[in-house]
Amino acid sequence: MSTTAFLEISRLTVAFPRSPAPVLRDIDLRIDRGEFVSVIGHSGCGKSTLLNVVAGLLKPSQGGAVLEGKEVSGPGPDRAVVFQNHSLLPWLTCAENIRLAVDQTLSRQMSRAERAGWVAHNLALVRMTQAADKRPHEISGGMKQRIGIARALAMKPKVLLMDEPFGALDALTRAHLQDQVMQIHAALGMTALMITHDVDEAVLLSDRIVMMTNGPNARIGEVLPVRLPRPRDRLALAEQPDFVHARKAVLEFLHARHANPALAAA
Ligand SMILES: Nc1ncnc2c1ncn2[C@@H]1O[C@H](COP(=O)(O)OP(=O)(O)OP(=O)(O)O)[C@@H](O)[C@H]1O
């Protein structure tokens, strides 16, 4: 086996109390620094469970996650999470929401003035400078997600964890945010683990797509490398054979070989 991975999930099994069988069983996944990895699978297979273990929000029954040689034993600023529904504090402005996270994580490394500049920098990164003084209820859902992403990135995490970050957005806003995340990934080279239901999104954004089998006892069924050159342009890719092949491979996995049992029975 090669040297230690940047993020390594090994022999991960998660069982919930009162559930007859584990949700996840024996999951092994190695993620390199700077890699963008998506996890896709039918509803209820355990994608969020997997992400929550890496986030340190959930204790596994067996195995676990190791980030840069350090075992994940709880939440930490080295793993920032973006959830499907923004988790901004409603009484703070957008800038203050980011500032709070920055103050909590970087106050030892940066002076007050540097932190203010860093908040402004991250607002600009998601093109939300104009919303700095607005409160979450004054901006759209897409804008809230952008602030959530800026807040996560502002913590300088080693890994950006995203649980269906665009799932609640309309298709046009989703496309726009996907493009922004691709640009940010190109600029920062952050390591990202993203849960998604959207096959096109997975292919467009990822270096690898992890396809989960149905639960209980869900496992990684297949891992598809996406070798499309970057930067990726959604319009140009739509007809490219490599994009079409990758998309088809994921669709076949999900709908032919591992069809959702709940839907199949309906
Ligand atoms: N805290 C919990 N206690 C008991 N069961 C749980 C708990 N959290 C999740 N589960 C169960 O574990 C399974 C996997 O849930 P999880 O949310 O990880 O799936 P998912 O693949 O992310 O689903 P979706 O795509 O619908 O968000 C589901 O059957 C769910 O009901």
**What is the ipTM for the molecules in this complex?**
0.97
Q: For 197-219, what is each residue's pLDDT tens digit?
A: 999 999 999 999 999 999 899 99
157, 80 contact by CB (below 8 A) = yes
The rounded mean pLDDT for the chain is 94
260 pLDDT tier (thresholds 50, 70, 90): confident
Q: Name every residue whose Cβ is closer than 8 Å to that of residue 222 and which is 6 or more positions away in sequence.
A: 211, 253
At residue 266 the predicted structure's pLDDT band, cuts being 50, 70 and 90, is: low
In short, whether 53's Cβ falls inside 6 Å of ligand 1 is no
What confidence tier does 190 reach under pLDDT thresholds 50, 70, 90?
very high
- Residue 108: predicted pLDDT: 95
pLDDT for the residue numbered 264: 60
Other CB atoms within 10 A of residue 159 CB: 24
Of all protein residues, the one whose alpha carbon is nearest to atom 5 of ligand 1 is 16
Rounded mean pLDDT, 177-206 = 95
Q: Which of ligand 1's atoms lies nearest the C-alpha of 45? A: 21
Ligand 1 pocket: which of 23, 58, 83, 220 to mutate (most atoms <8 Å of CB)?
23
Most informative mutation of 48, 83, 197 for ligand 1 (most atoms within 8 A of CB) = 48
Interval 74-87 mean pLDDT: 92
Q: Which of 186, 155, 150 is nearest to 165 (CA)?
A: 150
48 ligand 1 Cβ < 6 A: yes
* Tens-place pLDDT, residues 2-54: 577 999 999 999 999 988 899 999 999 999 999 999 999 999 999 999 999 99
Q: What is the pLDDT of residues 101-132, one digit of tens each?
A: 999 999 999 999 999 999 999 999 999 999 99
pLDDT of 15 reads 97
Q: Which atom of ligand 1 lies at the shortest distance from residue 46's CA? A: 18
Domains of the chain by start residue, with CATH: 7-78+157-265 (3.40.50.300)
